[in-house]
Amino acid sequence: MSGIDPITDFDSLRQAMADNFEQPEGPARNARAELLLAEAEKLGIPLAVIEALAHQLKVYNYSSEKDKMFVPFARLLRMWDERPEDFDEYEVHSLHWVFKWLSAGMLDQPHIPLASIEKWLGEMEYRYRLAGHSERAVRSAEFSVSAHLGDLERAERAYDAWLAADRDTMADCHACELHGQGWWQALRGSDAEAVELWGPVLEGEYSCAHEPHTVLASSLVPLLRLGRVDEARAHHLRGFRLVRAMESMRGAYADHVEFCALSGNEARALELLAERPAYFTDSGDPRSKLNFMAVVALLMDRLTSLGLGDQSVPGPVGRAWTASDLAAHARGEALSLAARFDTRNGTSYVSTRARARMNQPTLVDRLPLGVRSTRPAPTVHAPRPPVGTEPAAEPELPALLSEARRLSDSRNPDAVEAWAAVSRAAEGHELDVRDRAEIADHAAMERGPEGIELFHRAAELYAEADDPGEALAARARAAYVLALTGGTEEALAAVSELYDGVLALFTEGGTGASQTASVLVGRARILMHRLDSDVGVALRPEAAETAARELLALAEPHVEDVRLASRAAEAQAMLGELAARAEDAEKAAELLGRAVETYVSAGLPWFAVEHEARLAGIALHRGDMEAAERAARAALEHGGPHLEAPGHAQLHLQLAEILGGTGQFGPAADHALEAAHWADEAGQSATLGAWARHQLGGFLVRQGRWAEAAEILESALPDLTTDMHGDGAIVQTQWWLGDCLTELGDHREAADRWLQAADIARHWPEQRDHAMLAHLAAEALGNAGLHAQADQAYARAGELWRDLGNVHGLVRSLRARAWAAVHTDVGLDGARELMAAAVRECEDAIRDSPGDSASAAEVDRGESEDARLRLVAELGHTHRQFGDLVARSVPDDAEEASVRPSFEEALGHLTQAISVFASLGDELLDVRTAAELGAGRLEADLRRPTAAAARARAVLAAYAGLDGDTAEARCAEAENLLKLMETNSEG
């Protein structure tokens, strides 16, 4: 039988069904269930067939082939009616439980008549009453039918009756019931009440096979409508991980696609569609297909409205799809399915709901998720305004000129675009020479190397306009651009000539301080740039410092003029940078701070941003975290709308790292999230974005937000490279991801992550991380039940700990190997050898420790003694675990004669542990009393009530006069043991 071990008896059938249910949901698992039914029928055991049918029902229900449930259930029901004695207690319960699946399943199939569904409700009520069950499940099923039909009054009555009925073994679990109740409140417009009802499921108080999966999905849009976007983001990251691999969760999957479409995450939504191509065509559950196709239509309409109708998108296999094509197809599919339901139901309710879902407006223009996702760029022009809509009137040219000059005079970054608007509006108009000079000058500012000639053209026009000072300033700007493009010495020669000329002109009164400062700042910039270039390595900074001071002397007396205030501030910033180069951090901070104050006082906060970011870095280097945070926050505030996307990303990331360094992990995560978003917007997803996601994942890990962190870290990992980010970042990301997966119960995958990280770390000169990762991987493999692989990984870690001289790591790896060995071929004897080796390593290390040697005087005696005491404690823990291991290895059904030697052996190790812990005083009181109680239980099992009572009294005496949870728990356990022994003695 393909994929299944031979079925020889009922036990092998049950094992095969258990193994099959652990396989991924889908047709392959369903097919194996069908083969298992055939094998069950060969056994000639009625209960075997019953269990195989129940298994079939279960896998069909948790798959895309829900429509297959009806045949096996009908057969089961017939078998029950004919021979109820063939069913055991569990299968009787299961049969009645599946009535609920069938009622929901009938609703999902539009070909099943409504009369049949109503008849089935009556059948369910009759059989539940006959079996003595509460009507709670029946009323819940009635509610589902009524809500689907749009009979809201009947649904409300059924809802109230559902909640009023007693809970019994047929009631859905708390998690599923709360999901249904919250869904109803959200449908009725009570989003806040819905989220409140879902609270216990979201917080982990209740869970099941499909929860919190569906609650997380159902909460997404209500949370967006409530404006609780942070919670919505967290629920998406956490919930999508749960539904991603579950074929039966198409409806919840659709909720996640819908969330992305309504929150400006269209690219993420397309990625989700690409992961599940079968969802477009799977027909076994028409209702979930209807929901999925409605959401696809919503998303495709959204893309089309953004001008992306011609973009290629994932869709049903067999052809290429554009967004506009798929929008029409998905809408048609959804409405066709809705019409089938409405025909069956005799209403228009399903179609109305489907249209409402497809036509939802976007709720959030852009909600950053942290995972890599860049909003797609339009490939066609955005839709034109509707016919009859008058375009907005363009301002007249004089108004544009006036606004451009205002922005230029105020040094506003928008001045360049304002002059570009003037240039466009001036086409076909005669402008005076001054206007043309300013247009050329500002056009050159945004053209990089191509602007050099344009600056020279502006200079000619300024000269023609009889403004020689501005002409020299334009040529100085051209020289600076030349320096930036590699012509530093040529630029310096040119600006030196301009410098002499403007000073002479200024002295004669032929130009103003502003034009003169423009030439001086160009000269100072070129000298500063030369210091940072390759040739500048051998240069002294005096020339640059002199140029900056000369600029400051000219501009500082005139700071009431915005243009000169900006020059004074730039000079102060240059002097601050020179101080930083000289490693005078205090002076650098003072000068940069003055520059920032000058910019802000002049109403030019956007120019302060770069220097505030520099101040934050200097403060961070000096260990002044408050100043660093203050400067980074000011940079973000002052940058405001003038920052480009890369600037936003860098500043948010800087602040995130500062906040993370002070333990403010929540705010740090918020800024790392923003950094990742802006890096994506800047087209730097694979560089700065990957680093931001790495940091974001780490901050989420530190908050225990494991599922969110895992999603972010998995998104970062493909982009992290050794060349760009360093292999340390890759190892740390894998390490954190292993932590997350362990907390989420995916131990096998966690082990893989840690082993991948270990393979990188094994090349590092310092091997502690390698040892730690190998140890963690071994632990995860053990938790995954892969004991042989765990033993290998522990052995690898142990050798690394030995090479590092880390006795604690070595001993712990030996102990862990011993616990794993019990489950392997070497068994208890092999485990004993490993525990004995751990004891020897502890004893040898204690004997050789500096605290016990003549060389102790040569080292710090306090540290030496602390190290020795830690080794003694490790020995105590090893003896205790040795005893626990031997005691727990005794089978529950072992004969007393064979049990006694093992218990005696275990007691001996625990007694040694108690002695070792006692030698360390009260510092290890709690672990000593735990060992004492363990020894007391063994004394009791060995039928020594007096000795057991003595150990209980020792624990009570140890905690006399002490308070605390541990003391209370230990004393309660000791008193229970004492009472038990006194009872046994009396008996």
Q: What is the pLDDT of residues 593-628, one digit of tens each?
A: 999 999 999 999 999 999 999 999 999 999 999 999
Q: Which of 230, 244, 210, 260 is nearest to 703 (CA)?
A: 230
Q: Which residue has the tokens 């259930």?
A: 73
pLDDT-based confidence at 823, cuts 50/70/90?
confident
User: Residue 17: CB partners within 8 Å, gap ≥ 6?
Assistant: 33, 36, 51, 52, 55
Would you say residue 219 has pLDDT above 90? Answer: yes
Would you say residue 379 has pLDDT above 70? Answer: no
How far is Cα 502 from Cα 525, in angstroms, rounded to an integer? 16
pLDDT of residue 5: 67
pLDDT of residue 863: 66
CA angle 192, 256, 690 (to 5 degrees): 110
Q: What is the mean pLDDT of residues 529-550?
A: 82
pLDDT of residue 852: 44
pLDDT-based confidence at 163, cuts 50/70/90?
very high
Q: What is the mean pLDDT of residues 413-437?
A: 87
Element (H, E) at 950: helix 945-958
Strand partners, 322: 312
Tokens for 711? Answer: 């999603």
Cα–chain center distance at 481: 43
Would you say residue 526 has pLDDT above 70? Answer: yes
Residue 467 DSSP class:
-
pLDDT of residue 164: 95
pLDDT of residue 393: 52
Q: Which of 164, 543, 114 is nearest to 343 (CA)?
A: 114
Tokens for 198? Answer: 């879902």
pLDDT-based confidence at 553, cuts 50/70/90?
very high
Would you say residue 705 has pLDDT above 90? Answer: yes
Q: What percent of the chain has pLDDT over 70?
A: 95
Q: What is the mean pLDDT of residues 697-712?
A: 96
- Out of 369-383, 529-543, 559-573, 867-881, pick the least confident: 369-383
Would you say residue 498 has pLDDT above 90? Answer: yes
How far is Cα 785 from Cα 751, in angstroms, rounded to an integer? 12
Distances (CA, A) of 305 to 262, 298, 300, 641: 13, 11, 9, 26
pLDDT of residue 860: 53
- Out of 175-189, 435-449, 491-505, pick the least confident: 435-449
Tokens for 569? Answer: 């501030």
pLDDT of residue 397: 87
Residue 539 DSSP class:
-
CB-based burial label for 157 (10 Å; 0-12, 13-18, 19+): middle
Strand partners, 312: 322
Residue type, 759: D
pLDDT of residue 62: 85
Q: What is the C-alpha radius of gyration for the chain, rounded to an integer number of angstroms? A: 38
pLDDT of residue 921: 87
Q: What is the mean pLDDT of residues 693-702?
A: 97
Q: What is the mean pLDDT of residues 348-373?
A: 94
Q: What is the mean pLDDT of residues 800-813?
A: 93
Cα–chain center distance at 148: 35
pLDDT 10s digits, 885-935: 999 988 877 776 778 888 899 999 999 999 999 998 888 899 999 998 999
Element (H, E) at 313: strand 312-313
How far is Cα 460 from Cα 40, in angstroms, rounded to an integer? 97
pLDDT of residue 853: 42
- pTM summary value: 0.83
C-alpha dihedral sign at 90, 91, 94, 96: negative
Q: What is the mean pLDDT of residues 824-833?
A: 89
pLDDT of residue 8: 85
The answer to whether residues 258 and 297 touch, using CB atoms and an 8 Å cutoff, is: no
- Mean pLDDT, the chain, rounded, equals 90
How far is Cα 512 from Cα 275, in angstroms, rounded to an integer? 66
Would you say residue 162 has pLDDT above 90? Answer: yes
Strand partners, 321: 313
Residue 135 DSSP class:
S
Buried b (16+ CB within 10 A) or exposed e, 862-887: eebeebbbebbbbbbbbbbbbbbbbb
Strand partners, 188: none
The answer to whether residues 794 and 818 touch, using CB atoms and an 8 Å cutoff, is: no
pLDDT-based confidence at 532, cuts 50/70/90?
confident
pLDDT-based confidence at 198, cuts 50/70/90?
very high
Would you say residue 715 has pLDDT above 50? Answer: yes
CB-based burial label for 930 (10 Å; 0-12, 13-18, 19+): buried
pLDDT 10s digits, 93-116: 888 888 888 877 888 899 999 999
Does the N-terminal peptide bond of residue 468 adopt cis geometry, omega within 30 degrees of 0?
no
pLDDT 10s digits, 648-688: 999 999 999 999 999 999 999 999 999 999 999 899 999 99
